[in-house]
Amino acid sequence: MSVLIAPSVLSCDFANLARDVEMINNSQADWFHIDVMDGVFVPNISFGFPVMEAINRYAKKPMDVHLMIANPDPYIAEFKKCGAEILTVHFEACTHLHRTIQAIKAAGMKAGVALNPHTPVSVLEDLILDLDLVLIMSVNPGFGGQKFITNAIKKVSDCKKLIVEKGATTLIEVDGGVNLETGKSLVAAGADVLVAGSFVFGSSNPNETISALKLL
């Protein structure tokens, strides 16, 4: 399987949202990556349900929604209603993580768990068979354009080893500081999905940049 590319909508031009969504539709990208931040779990606020609904009206590819919020459980059904096909919550934000994962699946979505840079992959040992996706954060969550944390490459390797040992089918996604150089190392380590925000939307030709990432 070639690597899946999920451009991060957080980095698009919100004054031209429909244009950028259409660019992703017409590119070789596989998913829309949507970061939802609450200003509590992370020191930033992004966007909520109205913007998600607007994206969903035009999106022709799956919406991969990453919740950086303190208490995701009450909102699971609403994210499904807004078009989320994959819903990822943070290990650090969920007191009863297994219950949250089951609720996401019961709502009809694929379930993912994100790990902050300081959280080891080993915390997922008892849960990996229940997960469709593990999101390795290669920057501290909250803001785009941060420098890549190189330890993420080892975490991808550790995660791939755990998946193989347990006989799971979980995908490994990486978000933060992804470019052609870091992306190549991540794919070699076992990453299945690369999230790219500022690298795509800050380039002179986002469509070509997505194609280049797809070739990693």
Q: Give the residue numbers annotated as catalytic, written as ranges.
A: 35, 175
Which residue, among 175, 163, 152, 160, has the nearest Cα to 127 in the 3D structure?
Answer: 163
Return the residue matching tokens 């990996």: 128
Using DSSP's 3-state secondary structure scheme, residue 19 falls into helix
- Asked if 176 contacts 146 with a C-beta cutoff of 8 angstroms, the reply is yes
- Asked if 92 contacts 119 with a C-beta cutoff of 8 angstroms, the reply is yes
Q: What is the largest CA-CA distance in the chain?
A: 46
